[in-house]
């Protein structure tokens, strides 16, 4: 029958949150309580025992004014006797240590058959015991839940946006969760197996690699901070090398000699530099990594006297919340930036067609100006012949007013078209069609293009009339150009408004310009795609953006027997 005696000076270093390392190395034990040898004489990973006698020698001076709790992870159901009362706590027992405790705590484990000894010790302060230890499972559950949600949230955003920063951060959260899980497992063991050592070091190194990659993306160091970008690239290279060496030497060479907090310090400095360079998102980035750095320092140097497991289970979830917010804020900035670019493109599209629109104004003003000229000439003749009456003056005044109102309405239509900003308003779709066709009508007439408008069922919507007007104009302008370019005989454009399923309005614009070539039909809504000379290719692209993003509708194109057919469904 084999016996093992552990003689442990547990409270010699009370500032250490974990005393596991002191137990495993450089301590004395004996076989049959006779021959004292170093503990590394025995391989606790393989050696089995029937009976284990454990003696914990306390430093009574340190207990005169302090109270501690010693948590012992062991097969407590195998305890035969103990000289000190203890409390069972799920997978461990807890001894209260104070000035009334005996100088030595002794207890005996008995196994029916020889078994491996798996024993670990953790020290707790009075505060930890009262407020944390009893709610440990709840703390760990919250930590895992927050980190898993951060992983899921950012991974889903990556699927929709394909932004690498979300991918790196979501994977980082996944590995952080695994690291926390393994930290709890290892902390309750008397030794770490080879596979556990490899997995733990791999997880930690790969997690740091993801942190660096994430930092490069969110801070855009390649464009904004080239020197820092080179430093981060160097850290990426050595991390990759370290990942390879882990499988060769079974542990991390890099972080055996370099504290991981050093890498986090570099990331904190990177965030600080980015703040001074005016990056708004860097504020949250800086705070997030600063929380991680503070947590590491507190746990490594036991600044608060709280178990390191609790520190990292509080610090890392807090970092997850802060940096997830940083990514969300970055996404909002990118969305706002895209909206601003879309607005600029919409206005650019309008300005690109300004020449043609001014030509349309000239055409539409020509007739009323001619009428006003005739009215003026007729008035001069009447004055010369002294043939003026009240009825005559009222008649020519009314006629002049009609011509001026027509010209004024034309200006209002064009002024509204070129306004960069316009609020939502209620309007009938038929009104937008009418305004759009009034702008381009003279240009169509000049090319002898017939315009047919069929309003079967109208609909009032709350949206941006000015932008719908632009979409209709873009399509009409493209149809007109195709009809002229191909020299179509008896050219026409037909606009039909109707209500379709789900009570949506459908505007169909078709022509007889022979349609769109099959190799181009799937590309016409792409930005800067055009088959026409001196054209920027953004008209139909912006039409698609306006319909889908601003009007919450769809725009489609198909070929008919006569030509192309565009459908706007809103």
Task: Report the alpha-carbon distance of residue 153 to residue 166 in Å, rounded.
Answer: 9
Residue ending a domain, among 131, 146, 168, is: 131
Token pair 């461990």 is found at 92
| The pLDDT value given to residue 203 | 92
Residue 202's pLDDT is 93
Residues 140 and 196 in one domain: yes
Q: Domain for residue 351, yes or no?
A: no
Quick count: other Cβ atoms within 10 Å of Cβ 96? 16
pLDDT of 516 reads 86
Q: Could you tell me if 201 and 252 are in contact, meaning their C-beta atoms sit under 8 angstroms apart?
A: yes
Dist CA 114 CA 78 (whole Å): 12
- 570 and 443 co-located in one domain: yes
> What pLDDT does 515 receive?
87
For residue 352, is it within any domain?
no
- The verdict on residue 333 lying in a domain is yes
pTM of the shown model? 0.61
Separation of alpha carbons 429 and 453, rounded Å: 13
Alpha carbons 267 and 250: distance in angstroms, whole number: 27
What stretches in the chain show pLDDT beneath 50? 1-40
Q: What pLDDT is recorded for position 160?
A: 85
383 and 427 in one domain?
no
What is the pLDDT at residue 27? Answer: 32
Q: Are residues 407 and 432 in the same domain?
A: no
Nearest of 484, 419, 430, 491 to residue 455 by alpha carbon: 430
Query: Do residue 562 and residue 427 come from a single domain?
Result: yes
Verify that 332 and 384 share a domain, yes or no.
Answer: no
| Spatial distance between the Cα atoms of 227 and 231, rounded to a whole number of angstroms | 7
Residues 116 and 230 placed together within one structural domain of the fold: no
Shared domain for 104 and 59, answered yes or no, is yes
| Residues 398-426 pLDDT 10s | 778 777 876 776 666 566 555 555 678 88
Domain residue limits at 411:
358-418
DSSP annotation string for 449-491: -EEEEEESS--EEEE-HHHHHHHHHHHHHHHHHHHHHTT-SS-
If one counts the domains in the chain, the total is: 4
If asked whether residues 105 and 174 sit together in one domain, one would say: no
Last residue of a domain, one of 418, 447, 463: 418
| Total length of the chain | 570
Q: Identify the pLDDT of residue 3.
A: 39
What is the enclosing helix (H) or strand (E) of 58? none
DSSP 528-562: T--SSTT--S-HHHHHHHIIIIIS--EEEEEE-SS
Q: Which residues of 291-306 are buried (b: 16+ CB within 10 A; e: fewer)?
A: bbbbbbbbbeebeebb
At 357 the pLDDT is: 61
Among 366, 396, 418, residue at a domain's last position: 418
Q: What is the pLDDT of residue 19?
A: 34
CB count within 10 Å of CB 195 equals: 9
pLDDT at 26 (0 to 100): 29
Per residue in 374-393, pLDDT tens?
778 777 887 877 777 788 77
User: Are 210 and 289 members of one domain?
Assistant: yes
In a domain, 270, yes or no: yes
């Amino acid at each position: 029958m084999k016996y093992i005696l552990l003689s442990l000076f547990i409270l010699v270093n009370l500032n250490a949150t974990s005393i596991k390392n002191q137990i495993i190395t450089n301590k004395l034990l004996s076989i049959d309580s006779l021959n004292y040898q170093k503990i590394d004489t025995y391989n606790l990973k393989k050696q089995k025992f029937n009976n284990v006698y454990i003696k914990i020698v306390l430093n009574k001076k340190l207990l005169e004014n302090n109270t501690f709790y010693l948590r012992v992870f062991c097969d407590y159901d195998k305890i035969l006797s103990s000289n000190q009362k203890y409390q069972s706590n799920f997978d461990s027992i807890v001894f209260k240590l104070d000035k009334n405790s005996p100088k030595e705590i002794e207890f005996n484990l008995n196994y029916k058959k020889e078994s491996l000894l798996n024993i670990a010790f953790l020290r707790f302060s009075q505060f930890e015991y009262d407020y944390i230890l009893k709610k440990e499972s709840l703390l760990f559950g919250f930590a895992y839940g927050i980190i898993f949600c951060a992983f899921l949230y950012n991974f889903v955003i990556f699927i929709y946006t394909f932004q690498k920063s979300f991918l790196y951060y979501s994977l980082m959260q996944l590995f952080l969760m695994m690291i926390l899980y393994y930290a709890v497992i290892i902390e309750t063991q008397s030794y770490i197996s080879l596979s556990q050592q490899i997995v733990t070091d791999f997880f930690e190194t790969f997690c740091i690699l993801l942190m660096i990659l994430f930092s490069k993306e969110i801070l855009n160091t390649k464009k904004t901070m080239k020197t820092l970008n080179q430093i981060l690239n160097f850290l990426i290279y050595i991390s990759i090398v370290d990942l390879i060496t882990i499988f060769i030497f079974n542990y991390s060479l890099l972080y055996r000699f370099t504290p991981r907090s050093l890498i986090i310090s570099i990331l904190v400095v990177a965030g600080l530099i980015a703040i001074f360079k005016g990056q708004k998102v860097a504020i949250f980035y800086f705070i997030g990594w600063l929380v991680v750095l503070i947590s590491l320092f507190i746990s490594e140097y036991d600044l608060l006297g709280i178990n390191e497991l609790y520190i990292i289970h509080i610090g890392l979830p807090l970092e997850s919340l802060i940096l997830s917010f940083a990514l969300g804020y970055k996404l909002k900035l990118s969305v706002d930036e895209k909206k601003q670019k879309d607005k600029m493109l919409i206005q650019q599209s309008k300005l690109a067609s300004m020449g043609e629109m001014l030509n349309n104004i000239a055409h539409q003003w020509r007739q009323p100006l001619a009428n006003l000229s005739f009215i003026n000439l007729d008035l001069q003749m009447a004055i010369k012949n002294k043939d003026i009456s009240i009825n005559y003056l009222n008649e020519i005044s009314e006629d002049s007013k009609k011509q001026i109102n027509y010209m004024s309405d034309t200006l209002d239509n064009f002024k509204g078209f070129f306004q960069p900003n316009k609020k939502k308003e209620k309007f009938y779709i038929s009104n937008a069609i009418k305004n759009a066709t009034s702008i381009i009508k003279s240009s169509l007439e000049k090319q002898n293009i017939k315009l047919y408008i069929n309003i079967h069922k109208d609909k009032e919507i709350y949206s941006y009339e000015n932008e719908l007007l632009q979409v209709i104009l873009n399509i009409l302008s493209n149809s007109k150009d195709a009809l002229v370019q191909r020299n179509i005989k008896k050219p026409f454009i037909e606009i039909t408004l109707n209500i379709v399923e789900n009570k949506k309005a459908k505007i169909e614009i078709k022509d007889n310009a022979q349609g769109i070539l099959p190799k181009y039909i799937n590309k016409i809504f792409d930005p800067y795609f055009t088959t026409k000379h001196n054209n920027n290719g953004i008209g139909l692209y912006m039409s698609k953006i306006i319909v889908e993003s601003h009007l919450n509708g769809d725009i489609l194109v198909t070929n008919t027997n006569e030509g192309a057919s565009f459908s706007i469904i809103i």
